[in-house]
Amino acid sequence: MRKSVYFDAFDGPGWPSPSQLQPYFLGPRERRWKFARRNDCWGLSAEGVDGTAHLPRNKGRIDLNLTILGNFNHGILLHYHKSGGARGEFYYSKGDLSRLKEWVKTMHGDLMPVGLYIPFESAWKAVKEFMERDGALPNSIEWIAGEDIPDDAFPDPYLYRLAQS
């Protein structure tokens, strides 16, 4: 299995230790989610999980990504994506689902449902568990399958702006 990271100063092969990422989630409120680069989307990846490292991409190799979207006011949205093998899996952190039709704009201009954001502390438990269990879907938080989320929970930012005008 080949691990990689894109998380602030950590960019490249391997994963940092949990103690290196913990301050981004559990540090004092005024220091949480502070980065050297202006970004709010980070991630951990692994290629060739479940004993498939010897296989080529799209030929049986199983890869996974944990995307970590942060918002100082709403918390963290986690997106777990496992692809390859027999089928793909998409899961999102399960926050207050009554807020799926409320959105927060990311630094890249995407609109994300507030109902998928969870507290920093809960997100940290999941990220740490993900790292400790070599990319297994964490059990420490609740998840919602991508197929169970209404299509209109992720609006097109351009169309959304037009509808608001």
Task: Tell me the average pLDDT of the chain.
Answer: 90
Q: Are residues 83 and 70 in contact, defined by beta-carbon separation less than 8 angstroms?
A: no
pLDDT (0 to 100) of residue 87: 74
Split at pLDDT 50, 70, 90, the class of 164 is low
pTM for the whole structure: 0.91
| 80-112 pLDDT per residue, tens | 999 987 778 999 999 999 999 999 999 888 899
Residue with tokens 């960019």: 11
Mean pLDDT for 16-43 is 83
Residues in contact with 76: Cβ distance below 8 Å, sequence separation at least 6, in sequence order: 25, 68, 69, 70, 93, 117, 118, 119, 120, 122, 123
Indicate the SS3 state at residue 7.
strand
